[in-house]
């Protein structure tokens, strides 16, 4: 299975964007992001807390639909999914 992961704003600076990767059937949302984030210590710390949970401000989307961070461990990814990971957004 192949999925595309897109990071935005600060996360894009740390990981790049439009990462196309192969995943095994049954891979959860959190496992996918941990695998990618694990390649960059600073990036991993920006997304995950010391317990390995998503930081409360991280915004997750799967195919344009918001995924609650609490559901990320039980939400599987599927072939062709587009995953988006956003840091907190500020503006004015």
CATH of 2-86, one of 3.40.50.1360, 3.10.20.30, 3.40.50.740, 3.40.640.10: 3.10.20.30
What pLDDT, in 10s, does the model give residues 31-67? 999 999 999 999 999 999 999 999 989 999 999 999 9
**What is residue 91's predicted lDDT score, i.e. its pLDDT?**
55
Model-wide pTM > 0.85: yes
H or E element, residue 44: helix 41-47
Total Cβ atoms within 10 A of residue 92: 2
- Determine the Cα–Cα distance for residues 32 and 5; give it in Å rounded to an integer: 9
Q: What angle do CA 13, 16, 22 make, to 5 degrees?
A: 150
What rounded mean pLDDT belongs to the chain?
92
């Amino acid at each position: 299975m192949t999925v595309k992961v897109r990071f935005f704003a600060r996360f894009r600076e740390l990981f790049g964007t439009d990462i196309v990767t192969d995943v095994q059937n049954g891979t959860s949302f959190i496992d996918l992001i941990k695998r990618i984030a694990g390649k960059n210590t600073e990036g991993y710390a920006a997304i995950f807390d010391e317990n390995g949970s998503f930081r409360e401000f991280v915004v997750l989307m799967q195919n344009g639909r918001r995924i609650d961070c609490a559901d990320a461990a039980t939400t599987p990814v599927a072939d062709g999914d587009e995953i988006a990971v956003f840091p907190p957004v500020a503006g004015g």
